[in-house]
Amino acid sequence: MKHSKHNEHSDNADVGHEVSTIQVAGIIWFIVVLTVSVVFVGWLMAAVMNRFEGREKRAELESRPSPFAAERAKLPPEPRLQLAPNSEGQIDKNEPPNLKTQHPLEEMKQLRDNWENQLKTYGWVDEKAGEVRIPIDDAKKLLLQRGLPTRPAKKIEPVAAGGERQQQ
């Protein structure tokens, strides 16, 4: 069997390898231009950010609060949203809420404890007017002993066929 031409070795040096056509100067020129462009864009972004920060600082210095700002309370009136700041110190320090003490379930537990305390203890509702509250169990017992207040029954007058009342 005869060998193919590809397997034969030739003494010609040009036949056995591919000639390199890469232009190294073009690649180096591209890398240099890319590097300079990236540095320029980075510098430009930093300059724009510094300009914006300077503009913001000037705006803060020039803006004056309302003359009523000192009179206004920092905290909104009750009832407040859950997990909202609950003290002026928390607002001043810009602290997030403490979820261990201000968690909505803890607030609900405190509210229920307060209601339970009001239902089971004696206390003043209005001391000046002499109004007191009594425990719910005692109130139920008093209600059973005294009964519910009723209105006096009205005397019903018979009505005539013509829609007029009969006189007695």
For the chain, what is the mean pLDDT? 81
What integer pLDDT is reported at residue 96 of this predicted model? 82
Quick one: what percent of the chain has pLDDT higher than 90? 35
What integer pLDDT is reported at residue 163 of this predicted model? 59
Alpha-carbon distances, residue 133 vs 30, 119, 127, 139 (angstroms): 89, 8, 11, 9
Containing 126, the helix (H) or strand (E) segment is strand 123-126
Say which residue the tokens 């009001």 belong to.
118
pLDDT (tens digit per residue) in 69-104: 667 777 777 777 777 777 788 888 888 877 777 777
Indicate the pTM of the whole model.
Answer: 0.36
All residues at 6 or more sequence positions from 10 whose CB lies less than 8 Å from its CB, including other chains: 16
Domain ranges of the chain: 24-63, 97-146
Query: What are the residue ranges of helices labelled H in 69-162?
Result: 88-93, 104-120, 136-146
All residues at 6 or more sequence positions from 90 whose CB lies less than 8 Å from its CB, including other chains: 97
